Amino acid sequence: MTLLDVGGLTVTGRHLIVDGVDLNVSRGETVGLVGESGSGKSLTARAVAGLLPKGLTATGSVTLSGRELLGARERLLRSVRGSQVALLMQDPFAMLNPLRTAGAHVAESLPRLPRAARRAEVLRRLAEVGIADPSVAGRHPFQLSGGMRQRVALAAALARDPELLIADEPTTALDATTQHEILMLLRGVQRARGMGVLLITHDLRVAFELCDRVSVMYAGRIVESGPGSGVAGAPAHPYTSGLLAALPSVTVTLPRLEAVPGSVPHAEDVTDVCAFAARCGQAEPECGQARPPLRELSPGRRTACLYEVRPRPRTAPPALAPDAAPAGGTLLRVEELRKRYGGHVALGGVSLDVGAGESVGVVGESGSGKTTLARCVLGLATPDGGRVELAGLDVTPGARAARREGAHRLVQCVFQDPSTSLNPALTVGATLAEAAAQGRAEGRPSVAELLDLVGLPTAYASRRPRALSGGERQRVAIARALAVRPALLICDEPTASLDVSVQAHVLELLRTIRRELGTALLFITHDLAVVRQIADRTVVLFRGEVVESGETARVLDAPAHDYTRRLLASVPPTP
């Protein structure tokens, strides 16, 4: 029986954001709402819970167990929230009140109970989400890890036994292994309670692994829906098909990563046409004439594409042999690097080499020391012990013999979040010119050359970062790093904050740069599928120690260390 029924949901702020979404969730069913950033999926979830941010209005209909929620009074909504519909949010670090204990969060959400019974009930609820240690109830959020916080939040969200749980990217901010645990927990709780779950995610693999049915959202509307396995096996919309093709695989190194060209349009610019037509490889004139309806292919299977999707030639692509190790000597040598922060050991004696023109992946979870390693090599952090050698020069930060001047011409960095790593006050051209001026005068690249290198039009030089999309900003950041023609490029999770289709683009760009300029890469990531696509060799870091290293294919296909095996097991299968 239908629990949640969303019909023609439209969310408008200054612009149209969600455009006529239909969705339903039955009791005991998990439905996935998949889309990239800007697709309107999170605001759809907020609208269902009646928690839209100020300034946004929703029209259409949202009925929960037959009761209309849209336009209902706040009083009614408050009685429905928590007891019938609960919302679990993305960031476990921001979702809990920093001043209250974990137990208090659960207790305040419970119905009224006598004191002693309440305490026992809190512990029971925490046990349900896999927290067996009763002392956790007395701890504050800042004393708990991300995974623990997400568990506490889940217990609090479930305290009034809602019939429907909306989980908005509940695992995006977590490490791979924790992510896997939380997803399995979510599935377990859902099955035990027979609850309906609406899972919002940008990760197709997560959606397919967990959901009975999946709806794909694009530019504020649903473009395809159907059972998870059906959508994964035979996508019926070119967008879904493009997203699937852009997914990196952990088992094979793809010769070419297919990105979806262009960027997501605003919902209101495409109300009367197919929203995807401008980026579609098989668009026909008809696509730009009317908005394609969500037509039924078979019972429960719908697509908003007028045509049959051409299958992508992606049946067992030839595994790419890793590029032959370049002949050059060792470019970066890190020996026994140690660094402590208070009582926490960030690096406990890490050694690794990067050859000239080689690509080395560093894999590990948060807290494994991978970012500290990058900062030490860049000279941004001073290690407590060990050596960093670049092209034969001792550049160990803080060491007496260190000769850092000139080191910035040898090594450059691309950071994780391009929205904060570019100066918002400078135009792209000014940023690139400033960076290039740090290099040697002869052979200094011009702004146009740098933009061309990363595949951006020359006209972008006059734009400011705000006017660019996330992927474009990251390409500018890469161009900036390349401006001094470094021999080594350190990439610290450069695609972690990007959408899948954009990630494919950036990864492909980095591969091309390496091939054409011979720049060595030290690629730091938590994503094994990404490392498979980009690195010749892989080093696995665990709690500041190298636990395994070797050729990427060998490490991923035949892992020798337990931790590597655990990391691999937590990667959702690639459809």
Partner 1 sequence: MAVLTLLARRLAAALVLLGVLSALTFGLLAASPGGPEQVLLGSRPSTAETRAAIRAEYHLDDPFPVRYARWLGDAVRGDFGVSIYSREPVTDVIADRMPVTASLAGYALLLTVAVGVPLGLVAAMRRGGALDQGITLAALVTLAIPPFALSILLLYGFAVALGWFPVFGAGETPLDRIVHLTLPAIALAGAQTAMVVRQMRAAALDLAGQDFLTFARARGLPRRRIWLGYALRNAALPVLTVGGLLLAANLTGSLFVEQAFGLHGLGALLIGAIGQKDIPVVQALVLLGGAIVVAVNLLIDLAYLAVDPRVRHGAVTS
Number of CB atoms found within 10 A of residue 400's CB: 6
108 vs 336 by CB, closer to partner 1 = 108
Query: Position 249: which residue type?
Result: S
> Three-state SS across 124-182?
HHHHHCCCCCHHHHHCCHHHCCHHHHHHHHHHHHCCCCCCEEEEECCCCCCCHHHHHHH
Instruction: Please state, in angstroms and rounded to a whole number, the distance separating the CA atoms of residues 209 and 532.
Output: 21
Q: Are 191 and 112 in contact (CB under 8 A)?
A: no
Smallest separation (angstroms) from partner 1 to the CB of 90: 8
- Residue 27 CB partners (closer than 8 Å, separation 6+): 1, 3, 163, 194, 195, 196
Instruction: Please state, in angstroms and rounded to a whole number, the distance separating the CA atoms of residues 231 and 31.
Output: 13
Smallest separation (angstroms) from partner 1 to the CB of 42: 11
Instruction: Please state, in angstroms and rounded to a whole number, the distance separating the CA atoms of residues 130 and 74.
Output: 34
Smallest separation (angstroms) from partner 1 to the CB of 47: 13
Q: In the chain, what's the furthest Cα-to-Cα distance?
A: 79
77 vs 306 by CB, closer to partner 1 = 77
100 vs 124 by CB, closer to partner 1 = 100
Give the residue among 456, 468, 483, 455 at the shortest CA–CA distance from 427: 468
User: What secondary structure does DSSP assign to 433-453, as a single string?
Assistant: HHHHTTS-STTPPPHHHHHHH
Instruction: Please state, in angstroms and rounded to a whole number, the distance separating the CA atoms of residues 359 and 507.
Output: 12
Smallest separation (angstroms) from partner 1 to the CB of 112: 11
Backbone φ, ψ for residue 68 (5° rounding): -75, 125
Instruction: Please state, in angstroms and rounded to a whole number, the distance separating the CA atoms of residues 16 and 19.
Output: 7
Instruction: Please state, in angstroms and rounded to a whole number, the distance separating the CA atoms of residues 105 and 152.
Output: 8
Strand, coil or helix: 214: strand
The two three-digit tokens of residue 179, written as one number:
């992510």
Smallest separation (angstroms) from partner 1 to the CB of 51: 6
87 vs 432 by CB, closer to partner 1 = 87
> HSE of 237 in the Cβ direction (CA atoms, 13 Å)?
31
Smallest separation (angstroms) from partner 1 to the CB of 108: 6
164 vs 346 by CB, closer to partner 1 = 164
Strand, coil or helix: 568: helix
Instruction: Please state, in angstroms and rounded to a whole number, the distance separating the CA atoms of residues 63 and 228.
Output: 24
Smallest separation (angstroms) from partner 1 to the CB of 104: 9
Q: Are 192 and 129 in contact (CB under 8 A)?
A: no
318 vs 342 by CB, closer to partner 1 = 342
140 vs 409 by CB, closer to partner 1 = 140
94 vs 127 by CB, closer to partner 1 = 94
Backbone φ, ψ for residue 342 (5° rounding): 60, -125
Q: Are 198 and 165 in contact (CB under 8 A)?
A: yes
Smallest separation (angstroms) from partner 1 to the CB of 78: 5
**Residues binding partner 1 (CB under 8 A):** 49, 51, 54, 78-83, 86-87, 89-91, 94-101, 108-109, 140, 142-143, 153, 156-157, 159-160
Smallest separation (angstroms) from partner 1 to the CB of 79: 7
48 vs 395 by CB, closer to partner 1 = 48
99 vs 425 by CB, closer to partner 1 = 99
Smallest separation (angstroms) from partner 1 to the CB of 106: 10
Smallest separation (angstroms) from partner 1 to the CB of 77: 8
User: What secondary structure does DSSP assign to 37-89, as a single string?
Assistant: TTSSHHHHHHHHHT-PPTT-EEEEEEEETTEE-TT--HHHHHHHBTTTEEEE-
Give the residue among 72, 73, 66, 87 at the shortest CA–CA distance from 4: 66
What Cα–Cα distance (Å) separates residue 94 from each residue in 88, 165, 417, 496? 12, 19, 18, 19
Smallest separation (angstroms) from partner 1 to the CB of 86: 6
> HSE of 256 in the Cβ direction (CA atoms, 13 Å)?
5
- Residue 472 CB partners (closer than 8 Å, separation 6+): 263, 456, 460
53 vs 318 by CB, closer to partner 1 = 53
Smallest separation (angstroms) from partner 1 to the CB of 494: 26
156 vs 373 by CB, closer to partner 1 = 156
Smallest separation (angstroms) from partner 1 to the CB of 89: 5
14 vs 400 by CB, closer to partner 1 = 14
48 vs 309 by CB, closer to partner 1 = 48
DSSP-derived pairing of the beta strands 411-414 and 393-394: unpaired
